[in-house]
Amino acid sequence: MAGNGALNDRESLRLSVVIPAYNEEGSIAATVTAFAERLTAEGIDHEIVVVDDGSSDRTGEIVARLAEADPCVRCVRNDGQHGFGFAVRCGLDAFTGDAVAIVMADLSDAPDDLVAYHRLLEAGYDCAFGSRFIRGSAVHDYPRFKLYMNRAVNAFIRLLFGHGYNDTTNAFKAYRREVIETVQPLVSNHFNLTVELPLKAVVRGNSYAIVPISWTNRTSGESKLRLQEMGSRYLFIVLMVLLEHRLSRGDYRRQDLPARRHRWARRLSGPDVLSRQPDQRK
C-alpha cells in the first residue's frame, strides 16, 4: 500500500469514537451497541464518546444507561453553544485515544467500515477516509435531491483542490491524534465542520487512504442537516482552506514533514484502497 510518506510498521492504536447526538433517542442505543460490539469482537481497544448536544428527549438518559453497562462508553454533555460542529469539537476536546473517528448517531455508518479505518491508521496513515461513491461502496435510500447536491458539492471541492477524493463532505472519517492537533483551530460551528477537518488535514500535509464504505439512510428520527442553511457556510470554509492552500506558503503545514508540492498522484493499492502520494520533489 502506497501513501504520501513512508508508513510505519503496524502499531496498536487506541480508538476513540465520537458520536454527536441531538434528540436521537430512537437510534442512539442501536448505534452505540453496534459499534461497541464490533470493535470488541475485533479486539480493538476503544472508547465511545457520545456528545449530547442539548437533547430535549431521552438521548442522555439512554447513553448513561449504556455507560453503566459498558465502561468503554461515556456521555459528554455539550453545555456550550449547540450545533453539529460545536458538538464534534466538544468530543474532540474530550477523547483520550491515539486516534479518533467521527460517527453519526443515526446508524447510517457501518461498524465494519470503522474496522477498516482502524487498520489504515495502524498501517501508518494519518487519516482514514471513506467514499460512498467508488467501486465496492454501497448507498441505501439516499434522498434524491440530497444526492444530487452531494455530488455537485463534492465535484466542486475536488476541482478546487485536485485531491482526487469524491466524498469530502461525509462526516464519517478517522484521524490520528496528531492530525487533530494539526488542524486547530477549528472554526466551523455546524455541518461545515465535515469539510473543514479533512481539507485542513490534506492541505497541511497529512497522509491518507480511501476505502469504499456503505451508507444507509436513518430509520428513526429526522436529519439535522438543512441544506438551505448550509450553502454559504460550506462555501466559506472551502474558500478559507483554499486560500490557505494557495497563499500561505506552507506556514500551517506539519513541521515534522518535508516540504512537498501540492500535486496529488492517484495510485491504486488493490481493488479496495486508494491512497494519495504527493510529488515529493522539492
Q: What DSSP line would sit under 149-204, residue for residue?
A: HHHHHHHHHHHHH----S-TT---EEEEHHHHHHTPSP---STTHHHHHHHHHHHT
Q: How many angstroms separate the most distant Cα atoms in the chain?
A: 55
pLDDT 10s digits, 200-235: 999 999 999 999 999 999 887 565 555 555 678 999
Q: What is the mean pLDDT of residues 91-116?
A: 98
- What is the rounded distance in angstroms from the CA atom of residue 62 to the CA atom of residue 36? 15
pLDDT category, 182, cuts 50, 70, 90?
Answer: very high
Q: Which of 215, 84, 73 has the alpha carbon at shortest distance from 140?
A: 215
Exposed, middle or buried, 98 (CB in 10 Å: 0-12/13-18/19+)?
A: middle
Percentage of the chain surpassing pLDDT 70? 84
Is 265:277 a contact under the CB 8 Å cutoff? Answer: yes
pLDDT of residue 218: 81
E strand segments, the chain: 15-21, 46-52, 73-77, 99-102, 127-131, 138-140, 173-176, 208-212, 214-216, 264-268, 274-278
pLDDT at 20: 98
pLDDT of residue 3: 39
- Nearest to 50, CA basis, from 41, 42, 61: 61
pLDDT at 95 over 50: yes
pLDDT at 2 over 80: no
pLDDT tens for each residue of 252-278? 998 776 544 333 333 334 445 666 643
Closest to 63 in 3D by CA, of 47, 76, 82:
76
The pLDDT assigned to 273 comes to 62
Instruction: Quote the mean pLDDT of the chain.
Output: 88
Mean pLDDT across 163-184: 97
Q: Which pLDDT belongs to residue 158?
A: 97
CB atoms within 10 A of CB 181: 11
Q: Give the tens place of pLDDT for each residue, 12-46.
A: 899 999 999 999 999 999 999 999 999 999 999 99
**How many angstroms separate the CA atoms of 101 and 97, rounded?**
10
